Amino acid sequence: MTTQGELDDQLEAAVQVLKIAERVCVLTGAGVSAESGVPTFRDSNGLWEGHRVEDVASPEGFERNPALVWKFYNARRENASRVTPNPGHYALAEMEKRWGDRFTLVTQNVDGLHLEAGSENVLEIHGSLRHTRCLGCGVVTNRGVEPLGDAPQCPQCHGRLRPDIVWFGEGLPDGIWSAAMQAAYECHVLLVVGTSAVVYPAASLIPIAKRGAVTPAKVIEVNMTRTDASDNADIGLYGPSGVILPKLVERLK
Ligand code: BJW
Ligand code: ZN
């Protein structure tokens, strides 16, 4: 349990390192969207309707039962049509204005809420819930959050469509992942928000930032609890990101 006094001290320490940082990188995970009503992965034991996330979010799971996988994604798309960004998303969009193109937001989330909140320099390293990819012709299309049924087909070639999301065992999109690694390597502060930091390679951005191009980055963790990232964090802000991040932005003014 963090006391109010400890949180104030950590917030002050975070403001001090941010004020002198030339480049800032942020890594977000499901926790940043929890207060918007998007369920996290591991807080519910990684289960969805009794299925392991790995069974519905993997190429093997899709081969085995594409209709089940589409049911999972249609439910998530339906949820995405109802949720809106929370004060944590808006605070990060506000922070970007201070650093401009020296601020990069790397997100593992596929819900699109950072973009909706106004963040611009966003790298969606695990893809997007709104995008489909055709297994026939490879075309990626933004289909918004409209329901797509349990066997959607490509309008061009009638091939099978899959969500354009990075599943377990799949590589991350090359250009986007290189840009994320570069942003982490070059930053002076890495803000790690709402992630359990157990999924790789995303979690490797933390040691990459610590190795640093010029000096080791200061790592600030924002989470409800300590995580696998905590031992590498210089500053820990423990509490809901929708409360902590606006406080941080307020103190940076
Ligand atoms: C709050 C809060 C509030 C709550 N405020 N905080 C090296 C070592 C070990 C394993 C591997 C490795 N390299 C690769 C692997 C395998 C695998 C992996 O990492 N597995 C681990 C689980 C062990 N990685 C991969 O397969 C990756 N591909 C890859 O590496 O390719 C190369 C390769 C190929 C073949 C073989 C080997 C290598 C791809 C990973 C893709 C991950 N995709 C998913 C699913 C997408 C499906 C979808 O979204 O529909 O992405 S997994 C799932 O986890 C999702 C998330 O983006 C990701 C991260 O989860 P996140 O965001 O951290 O959420 P939670 O739920 O874990 O945590 C929430 C946190 O929020 C908690 O800490 C809460 O406390 C906190 N919180 N409320 C602040 N209000
Ligand atoms: Zn096609």
Of all protein residues, the one whose alpha carbon is nearest to atom 57 of ligand 1 is 108
State the ligand closest to the CA atom of 134: 2
Give the pairing of strands 189-193 and 24-28. parallel
Per-residue pLDDT of the chain (253 residues; tens, 9 = 90+): 678 889 999 999 999 999 999 999 999 999 999 999 999 988 876 667 788 888 899 999 999 999 999 999 999 999 999 999 999 999 999 999 999 999 999 999 999 999 999 999 999 999 999 999 999 999 999 999 988 999 999 999 999 999 999 999 999 999 999 999 999 999 999 999 999 999 999 999 999 999 998 899 999 999 999 999 999 999 999 999 999 999 999 999 9
* Ligand 2 midpoint to CA 229 (Å): 40
Query: Looking at the annotation, which residues are catalytic?
Result: 126
State the ligand closest to the CA atom of 36: 1
And the tokens for 213?
A: 């191009």
**Do residues 100 and 24 lie in contact, with contact meaning Cβ atoms separated by under 8 Å?**
no
* Ligand 2 midpoint to CA 4 (Å): 55
What beta strand segments (E) does the chain contain?
24-28, 47-48, 51-52, 103-107, 122-124, 127-134, 140-142, 161-165, 189-193, 218-223, 235-238
And the tokens for 82?
A: 């109802």
